[in-house]
Amino acid sequence: MAFRLFLPLFFIFFAFLYIALLNPGTVEFQYAPGHTVALPHVALVMFAFLAGTLSLSLVYFFKGVGDVANDMANMFRRLRAARIEGSLLKARQKAGQGQMDKAMRLLENIISKKPGLFEAHLLHGEVLRKTGRAREALRAHSQALALDPANLGAIIQIKEDYMALGEHEAAYRLLEQVRGRMPEDHAVLAEMRDVSVQLGEFHRAAVLQREILSLTADAVSQKAEQVKMAETYCLFAEQLLADGRFDAARDQLDMALKVEPDFVCAAMLLASALQGLSRHDEAGAVLRRQFERTHSPVALLKLAQMDPGNREELFARARGIAPEEKGLEPVLIALENARGLRYRCAACDAVENSYFPQCPSCGNWNTANAAVEEPVPSPDGQ
User: Mind listing the domains of the chain with CATH numbers?
Assistant: 156-212 (1.25.40)
Facing residues of 27 across strands? 39
State the amino acid at position 230 in one-letter form.
Answer: A
pLDDT digits (tens, 9 = 90+) for 3-52: 566 666 677 677 666 666 666 667 677 777 777 777 777 777 777 777 77
Express each pLDDT in 111-138 by its tens digit. 888 888 888 898 999 899 988 889 999 9
- Using H for helix, E for strand and C for coil, what is the string for the chain? CHHHHHHHHHHHHHHHHHHHHHCCCEEEEEEECCEEEEEEHHHHHHHHHHHHHHHHHHHHHHHHHHHHHHHHHHHHHHHHHHHHHHHHHHHHHHHHCCCHHHHHHHHHHHHHHCCCCHHHHHHHHHHHHHCCCHHHHHHHHHHHHHHCCCCHHHHHHHHHHHHHCCCHHHHHHHHHHHHHHCCCCHHHHHHHHHHHHHCCCHHHHHHHHHHHHHHCCCHHHHHHHHHHHHHHHHHHHHHHHHCCCHHHHHHHHHHHHHHCCCCHHHHHHHHHHHHHCCCHHHHHHHHHHHHHHHCCHHHHHHHHHHCHHHHHHHHHHHHHHCCCCHHHHHHHHHHHCCCCCEEECCCCCCEECCCCCECCCCCCECCCCCEEECCCCCCCCC
Q: What is the pLDDT of residue 270?
A: 93
- How far, in Å, CA of 194 to CA of 214, rounded? 17
**pLDDT tens digits, residue range 275-327?**
999 998 899 889 888 888 887 777 877 887 777 667 667 777 776 666 555 55
Averaged pLDDT, 176-205 = 85
pLDDT of residue 97 exceeding 90: no
* pTM for this predicted structure: 0.66
Confidence bin at 381 (pLDDT 50/70/90): very low
- What's the whole-number mean pLDDT along residues 176-204? 85
Work out the pLDDT band at 221, boundaries 50, 70, 90. Answer: confident
Question: Which pLDDT score, from 0 to 100, does residue 368 have?
Answer: 47
- Give the pLDDT confidence score for residue 372 in this predicted structure: 58
Residue 216, sorted as left (phi over 0), alpha (psi -120 to 50) or beta, turns out to be: beta
Q: How far apart are CA 108 and CA 120, in angstroms?
A: 9
Cβ neighbors of 126 (< 8 A, separation 6 or more) are: 95, 137, 157
Cα(238)–Cα(252) distance, rounded to whole angstroms?
A: 10
Of 361, 370, 310, residue with least CA distance to 341? 370
**Crossing angle between the packed helical segments 297-306 and 280-294, to the nearest 10 degrees:** 150
Cβ contact 339:370 at 8 Å: no
Short-list 91, 88, 113, CA closest to 102: 91
For the chain, what percent of residues have pLDDT higher than 90? 14
Please state the rounded mean pLDDT for residues 208-225.
87
Q: In what order do the strands lie in the sheet with 371-373?
A: 351-352, 342-344, 371-373
Q: What pLDDT is attached to residue 339?
A: 53
> Lowest-confidence range among 123-137, 143-157, 290-304, 361-375?
361-375
Q: Is the pLDDT of residue 382 over 60?
A: no
Is 168 buried (19+), middle (13-18) or exposed (0-12) by CB count in 10 A? Answer: middle
What average pLDDT does the segment 190-197 reach?
90
The reported pLDDT for the residue numbered 5 is 60
Percent of the chain at pLDDT above 70?
80
The answer to which of 120-124, 142-146, 149-153, 332-336 has the lowest mean pLDDT is 332-336
- The more confident residue out of 324 and 347 is 347
| Residue 359: pLDDT over 90 | no
Confidence of residue 232 (pLDDT cuts 50, 70, 90): very high
Is the pLDDT score of 163 beyond 70?
A: yes
Task: Give the mean pLDDT of the chain.
Answer: 80
- Determine phi and psi for 289, rounding to 5 degrees: -65, -40
